[in-house]
Amino acid sequence: MTQTLNSLSWANCKIELSADGGTTWKDISGFANSVTVDGGERAVSEFMTVTGDTPIVTSGKRSLLEVTVKAVYTEDTADAPFIMGLSAYESATDTVLLRWSPKGGAIGDYRYATSAAKVVAPVYPQGAADSGDAIPVELKLKCASITKSVISV
Amino acid sequence: MLKKKKLYEAIVILSSESLNKFIYPGETIELSPEDAKVLIDMGAVKEVPNDPNTELPELGKLQD
């Protein structure tokens, strides 16, 4: 089989954040560095019988997902990821939605979107005087699902 | 001149930029032929048979 020519890097990824239930989306590609997804494992169990040599395998539900966005800390706009994330973290009820499109977000590209997510960890700037790095912040989100879709007009 | 939009049926979940919502498989969406071509080529939508947008008006309605 020939080798694919369609692999992608993260260089053109479009990352967007919404703090109003998806009515408006803020393009945070100019702030964000990475998106990582953890959790979501499906419960799987095994049961051994006396007769069998291999287990009976059964499966159940999927666990919640933890999505982490690493972004740069800025204080310039009210809708910067840090401000949006901190506001959602400090509220017991507010949620955010995150969506990202590895190919760039044009018509026909895939898009991955979280369901309503809680910001579950503090979103405060941290650093040390002996570092010249830009200050990062991390938005740790927990949500029930991520929907894969194809972008249309 | 703008080409007339037609109805297309979603085969996979679509994320509509203009409607700001998901279009689920089996639901329909209006697309221009240019936009539809991209999505048809990747198997995301298909043409709707008997699309009312492309049906010819009945003779009686023409006279009205």
Residues of A in contact with B21 (CB under 8 A): 22
Q: Is B25 on the interface with A (CB under 8 A)?
A: no
**From the candidates B2, B15, B29, B38, which should be mutated to test the interface with A, based on the most A CB atoms within 10 A?**
B15
Chain B residues 36-55 within an 8 A CB cutoff of chain A: 38-39, 42, 44-45
Burial of A15 (0-12, 13-18, 19+ CB in 10 A): buried
Q: Is B13 on the interface with A (CB under 8 A)?
A: yes
How many angstroms away from the CA of B60 is the closest CA of chain A? 35
* CA nearest to B14, candidates A50, A62, A147, A139: A147
Q: Is A51 on the interface with B (CB under 8 A)?
A: no
Structure confidence at residue A55 (pLDDT): 98
pTM above 0.80, yes or no: yes
Q: Are strands A110-114 and B21-23 parallel, antiparallel or unpaired?
A: unpaired
Counted residue by residue, chain A has a size of: 153
Structure confidence at residue A28 (pLDDT): 95
Residues of A in contact with B45 (CB under 8 A): 152
CA distance B21 to B64: 38
Q: Is A72 on the interface with B (CB under 8 A)?
A: no
Q: Which of A23-27, B22-26, B55-59 has the lowest mean pLDDT?
A: B55-59
A11-47 pLDDT per residue, tens: 999 999 999 999 999 999 999 999 999 999 999 999 9
B29-41 pLDDT per residue, tens: 999 999 999 999 9
Q: A10-150 sits in which CATH class? A: mainly beta
**From the candidates A103, A115, A150, which should be mutated to test the interface with B, based on the most B CB atoms within 10 A?**
A150
* CA nearest to A109, candidates A118, A121, A100, A119: A100
pLDDT at A73 over 70: yes
Q: Which strand (E) or helix (H) includes residue A141?
A: strand A136-143
| Structure ipTM over 0.95, yes or no | no
Q: Do the chains contact at A151 and B12, CB–CB below 8 Å?
A: no
Block residue for tokens 């938005």: A139
> Considering CB atoms only, which of B31, B42, B44 is closest to A153?
B31
Q: Is B16 on the interface with A (CB under 8 A)?
A: yes
State the pLDDT confidence band at B61, using cuts at 50, 70 and 90.
low
Counted residue by residue, chain B has a size of: 64
Domain boundaries, chain B: 6-51
Domain boundaries, chain A: 10-150
